[in-house]
Amino acid sequence: MTDDTNEPTTGQDLATDQEGSTSGHSRRRILTTGAIAGAAALAGAAGGATATRGDAAPAADPTPPVVVRPAQRQRFQNKVVIVTGATSGIGRSAAIMFAAEGGKVGFCGRRENLGRQVEAQIRAGGGEATYLRADVRVEGDVRHFVDAVAAKYGGLDVCFNNAGITIQKPLHEYTAAEWDDVVDTDLRGNFLALKYQIPHLIRRGGGTVVVTSSSNAISTSPNRAAYTAAKRGLVGMVQSAAHDYAADGIRINTLIPGTTNTELVRRVAGMLDAPDTTWNAFAAEWASTNLPDLKRMATPDEIATFALALASDDFPYMTAAQMVIDGGKTAYA
């Protein structure tokens, strides 16, 4: 099953080295055996919340919320910024943050209702943003999206290429169409984005590009053959492209996030329709076992904040880099 939104997986696929069972919430083989004994254990961890919406008073989130405040600097004032896969998750957070720092933001995703909501939220906060529906697997969509944003705002300065999906199963169980869907979105989609962004950046006299890969590009586990192949491929593509365009003043770097608490992760876990209290309890329990250092998943805002730093002019000597923000996950690789 795929995420049909072109939103970021970026290592967010909630998966471990073994299979497990949580009473119907593990049909994508994403739980470590013993991470949670079943739905009853989830309810207990959530302070008695049941698996039915509205039954009990919501329990407190097992982990305190992480609050990331927008930077006070206006690093993207009057700059034109493109974000792919921005109707939810990391991309959504990044689009909002780029606009809060003065950027004129053009962003895409396949779910039009969510895209319009993000656009309205940014404008209500005094920012400038334009949503355009685009499927990064479709070359014509990508070309039109990039050219339309550049035409509306008078050029292009910053690109955050972030769209991605995942399908998880043993390699021989993939259909060719499923394999192609992941690779076409996560790897070919990023090639197409760069293909049509680079000429605008060259005409501008330079710019920055951040491409979202995944901690699975460094350390992976079963059931991620397509995803890992695509995300590792992104690292190589970025390194080569960075060499191609350094003389044009274009810096291209790879963002390598760890597991992030997003809608896509929740969907992969088979818990998109579970109550928030149940999901929060599950996420906390899973993280305590599988993310031993910080014992929690990242928030989208935390990853987006790092993406903005890489996209800014703060690091003019950085290009072709692989920048990891994974809570220590790959230190165990």
List the catalytic residues: 227
Candidates 260, 257, 328; CA nearest to 298 is 260
Candidates 220, 297, 214; CA nearest to 256 is 214
Candidates 110, 83, 117, 114; CA nearest to 99 is 83
Candidates 238, 110, 98; CA nearest to 157 is 98
Phi, psi (5° rounding) for residue 180? Answer: -60, -35
Q: Tokens standing for 90? A: 């990391």
Residues 6+ apart with CB under 8 A from 72: none
SS3 assignment, position 89: helix
Candidates 248, 282, 250, 243; CA nearest to 265 is 282
Q: How do 104-109 and 128-133 pair as beta strands?
A: parallel
Are the beta carbons of 225 and 293 closer than 8 angstroms?
A: no
What is the rounded CA–CA span in Å between residue 142 and residue 137? Answer: 8
Residues 6+ apart with CB under 8 A from 297: 14, 258, 259, 260, 261, 265, 283, 287, 291, 327
